[in-house]
Structure 1
Amino acid sequence: MKRLHFNLITLACVTLFGCENPDGIADDAQTRDYSTIFTPLPSKTIYPSNNPYSETKERLGELLFWDPILSGDKDTSCASCHHPDFGWADGRILSIGSDGIGLGPQRYGFQVTSIHAPTIMNVAYTGIKNNESDSSFVSGGYFWDLRADTLEEQSLGPIKNPVEMLGYNNNEKEIMADIVERLRLIPEYVTLFEQAFGVTEAVSSENIVKAIATFERKITSPNTRFDRFLSGEQSIFTQQEIIGLNKFIDGGCARCHLGPMLSDNILHLGEAIIGTDIVRTPSLRNISYTAPYMHDGSRARLIDAIADYENRGDLDVTIGEDDFADIEAFLQTVNTDDFYKGIPTIVPSGLTVGGNIN
């Protein structure tokens, strides 16, 4: 792998239409018809028919997301690894779960996950394809190995995982029954569940994950400059960003990173993690907020992650060193600071919001 270096000659070259890169693909600053490769992210969240939206359910899910009562030892929450300060990820190479103290890169503990925690931003659209209608779309699958078909199923996984939230003082087969009993003893939760699901005795394992998934679907980042560009505002891109977009396509990156989420959500050859050497294509949406990168969190900077694909013949990728900066410039256009960042001030259990994250 060559070291990254950008001198004045290189920087000048990428601004010139038609400049040939000696170590990459040709610069092309002409806009194209991109509609067969990308379409904008939907502006409205899509909810599944078996878990329709309600404001009360979303609010309940947010409280559960932040309440450490869902963890075995009542000290870890979903927000321990998915926090708005880190783009709803945790800013760590590998996450620290059930015995962790602190937040983000400063969090410490012994229970370390084997993989990098992905952001939950835009999980409502996981697996969506170009021009897929709201009525036909069902999101999924989830986790790096796609083992969960739905977001509801995914929401249950960390609660039962001893490294993440369960800990080693509790039984995986019994924890959900224990949590249901805990919640039934809290009048505010009983009322919220009944309002959210319209029935009495609504506190159940199924409804817990339905509420969490409903909240997570709220966290989206549409209307980026890339979405506006795709919608016809082509003057919103700089020349380098157009060059970077074209190189992203011509170099082979869009073979896997395509569609509204810039991901085919398909398993591909990757690092040998989670007991397998195949991992799904991650979304590139809001990528600047979710460093470090790769499935093992091994690349601290975005440009380092791009460089990992230099002339990867096994993936049919032909980008070279002189293409990295242009592609990075394009990827900055899929970012937006306009996403939900709310944090509750209290949770119904009375426990510390987020668990041991402060």
Structure 2
Amino acid sequence: MNHSSDATLPSPLPAGGEPGPAIARRSRRKRLAWSAAGIALAFVVYCAYALIYPERMPPAVGAIVEDLTGANPHPVHLLRPQNAPLSAVALLGKQIFFDTSLSASGTQSCASCHSPQHSYGPDNAFPVQLGGAHLNQAGYRPPPSLTYLYRQAPFSIGPDQGDTDAPVDMTQLASQAAGMQRAQKTALAAPAAPAMVPQGGLFWDGRADTLQDQALGPLTNPVEMANATPEDVARKLLQTRYVDQFRQLFGPAIVGNPSLLISEAMFAVGRYQIEDPSFHAFSSKYDDWLEGKARLTHAELHGLQLFNDKDKANCAGCHLSQPSKDGLPPLFTDTQYEALGVPRNPAIPANKDPTFFDMGVCGPFRHDLAQQTQYCGMFLTPTLRNAAQRKAFFHNGVYHDLKQVMDFYNLRNTAPEKIYPRDAAGKVRKYDDLPAQYHANVDVGDAPFDRKFGDQPAMNDQDIQDIIAFMKTLNDGYQDGKS
């Protein structure tokens, strides 16, 4: 037999000259496989090109690439505060900030409630802190973080008042604004002008205009550092190991002038907060993402999308997430005031008195706007930077993690029975931490509060988890994939 003869090999075709069914199927599968491989290769090449030349891509393609890689397709340069050695005045302020001898108990300093290891907020989950001469007096509000206050404007009402040396009559401003419609908060959109709401200032109610004024408040508060008078503070300053620094910086006569001594001491504390970069580090994963140095996970990207979605979470309506036009990093607050109607916190000792209500801008600790009842229940919107590290949220510390906070936003109007207690008759006591006559001040117009009872909530459980994942990218200290 001649094994070299092709005539002896079986023909790949049947007698009719057409391929059989099995052979045809194999051929089609080969063609499909090669086509799929070609498409995949082309897509990979296209995405690689888009990553290298994002400016040449249309917006839709940029969004696809962003979703696939987690990179920011339009990175920016952020203008952070200058990082320089602390001035002599700021170094003096640092010593004052950590000095426990300035308290009546001899055991508390500014850092006791504003821990550097906890973003200059409390190091515990207590709704309020204990103070006083014997550390047995409960406060009324959880101490806010002292971070990211370097751009905080003085308290004003209505349009931005700008820098002015003329005294401002807050009562007159409030009266003028009383009949004007409240500005709606919409994520990624400028508010309608004028935004007739309180804005700026320090503390939860904005009663201090400068870091200098804020620093003095706790020193003479009977439930905090508990000095009876400012003169008591001055006497303690004269006994410190750094008293000679006051003479060197402000002249020898300062030790004989108690009011000037206190004023310069609090100015020094303010300079420490402004100059030390730990108060405004801008070192989060989100900052790196904005500058194109980090990639967000799918969950973090989806959370950012929801955070900025005006019809969903709408967080960015109050917690601004975009850099300013001149490149300043976002502070994640509009520094305005909102009445949110958070539930009453029975863990605060003062709340055991059913007639006591903390109403923020209109009292009880701020007195100049007590008669402007349209602001009752309004509190300062805090920064969300490092919020994922906090252990007590809102002005009364009623919640202790971000899941509880997000559930409040999601369910306050749609399922209030899950947020508020019931009275003896079984009726839900909505907005139970605000007198009934001021319930109209509570925000019901901005998403997600624009839902009605029984409506589908704005977010599902996965949405909430993704928003929390994004908020964790706002923690400072992100380095090499860790924060």
Displacement of 1:282 = 0.9
Rounded to whole Å, the distance in 2 between the matches of 1:253 and 1:264 is 11
1:61·1:214 contact (CA, 8 Å) conserved in 2?
A: yes
Tell me which of the two structures has the higher relative contact order, counting C-alpha pairs closer than 8 angstroms and 6 or more residues apart: 1
Describe the shift of the 1:41–1:279 C-alpha distance in structure 2 as closer, same or farther (beyond 3 A). farther
1:80·1:97 contact (CA, 8 Å) conserved in 2?
A: no
Aligned residues: 279
Give the TM-score normalised by structure 1. 0.68
Rounded to whole Å, the distance in 2 between the matches of 1:304 and 1:334 is 18
Q: Does 1:243 align with 2:269?
A: no
2:76·2:292 contact (CA, 8 Å) conserved in 1?
A: no
Instruction: Report the residue type matching 1:64 in the other structure.
Output: I
Residue aligning to 2:237: 183
Give the TM-score normalised by structure 2. 0.52
Q: Which has the higher mean CA deviation after the structures are superposed, 249-258 or 329-338?
A: 329-338
Q: Does 1:213 align with 2:267?
A: no
Q: Secondary structure at the match of 1:226?
A: helix
Q: Does 1:141 align with 2:272?
A: no
Displacement of 1:229 = 1.4
Rounded to whole Å, the distance in 2 between the matches of 1:298 and 1:40 is 38
Rounded to whole Å, the distance in 2 between the matches of 1:84 and 1:256 is 26
Residue aligning to 1:194: 247
Displacement of 1:83 = 1.5
Residue aligning to 1:95: 129
Q: Does 1:316 align with 2:447?
A: yes
Describe the shift of the 1:42–1:177 C-alpha distance in structure 2 as closer, same or farther (beyond 3 A). farther
Q: Which runs of 4+ in 1 moved over 4 A?
A: 28-35, 38-42
1:142·1:149 contact (CA, 8 Å) conserved in 2?
A: yes
Displacement of 1:54 = 5.1
Residue aligning to 2:403: 303
Residue aligning to 1:24: none
1:244·1:323 contact (CA, 8 Å) conserved in 2?
A: yes
Displacement of 1:114 = 1.0
Q: Secondary structure at the match of 2:377?
A: strand
Match of 2:97 among 33, 51, 65: 65
1:119·1:290 contact (CA, 8 Å) conserved in 2?
A: no
Matches of residues 1-358 of structure 1 in structure 2 within 5 Å? 29=67, 42-44=79-81, 55-90=87-122, 91=124, 92-99=126-133, 109-126=135-152, 140-166=200-226, 170=228, 175-186=229-240, 188-195=241-248, 197-203=249-255, 204-217=261-274, 218=276, 219-233=279-293, 236-250=295-309, 251=312, 252-259=314-321, 260-270=330-340, 271=342, 273=358, 274=360, 275=363, 276-310=376-410, 314=444, 315-317=446-448, 318-337=458-477
Rounded to whole Å, the distance in 2 between the matches of 1:127 and 1:29 is 37
Q: Secondary structure at the match of 2:223?
A: helix
Q: Deviations over 1:25-46 (max 9, x none)?
A: xxx94889999xx988742259
2:139·2:224 contact (CA, 8 Å) conserved in 1?
A: yes
Rounded to whole Å, the distance in 2 between the matches of 1:264 and 1:119 is 16
Rounded to whole Å, the distance in 1 between the matches of 2:404 and 2:472 is 14
Describe the shift of the 1:93–1:240 C-alpha distance in structure 2 as closer, same or farther (beyond 3 A). same
Q: Deviations over 1:59-112 (max 9, x none)?
A: 211111111232234332212211224332222221112246xxxxxxxx5311
Q: Deviations over 1:257-284 (max 9, x none)?
A: 1151101111100346354411111101
- Any gaps of 5 or more consecutive residues in structure 2? 1-65, 155-162, 164-198, 256-260, 322-329, 343-356, 364-375, 414-443, 449-457
1:86·1:289 contact (CA, 8 Å) conserved in 2?
A: yes
Q: Secondary structure at the match of 2:388?
A: helix
Rounded to whole Å, the distance in 1 between the matches of 2:152 and 2:384 is 12
2:72·2:289 contact (CA, 8 Å) conserved in 1?
A: no
What fraction of aligned residue pairs are identical, expressed as a percent? 28
Describe the shift of the 1:98–1:76 C-alpha distance in structure 2 as closer, same or farther (beyond 3 A). farther
Task: Calculate the aligned-residue CA RMSD, in Å.
Answer: 3.3
Displacement of 1:214 = 1.6
2:104·2:226 contact (CA, 8 Å) conserved in 1?
A: yes
Q: Deviations over 1:194-222 (max 9, x none)?
A: 34x34333451111111111222322221
Rounded to whole Å, the distance in 1 between the matches of 2:77 and 2:118 is 24
Describe the shift of the 1:266–1:45 C-alpha distance in structure 2 as closer, same or farther (beyond 3 A). farther
Instruction: Report the residue type matching 1:214 in the other structure.
Output: R
Displacement of 1:140 = 4.8
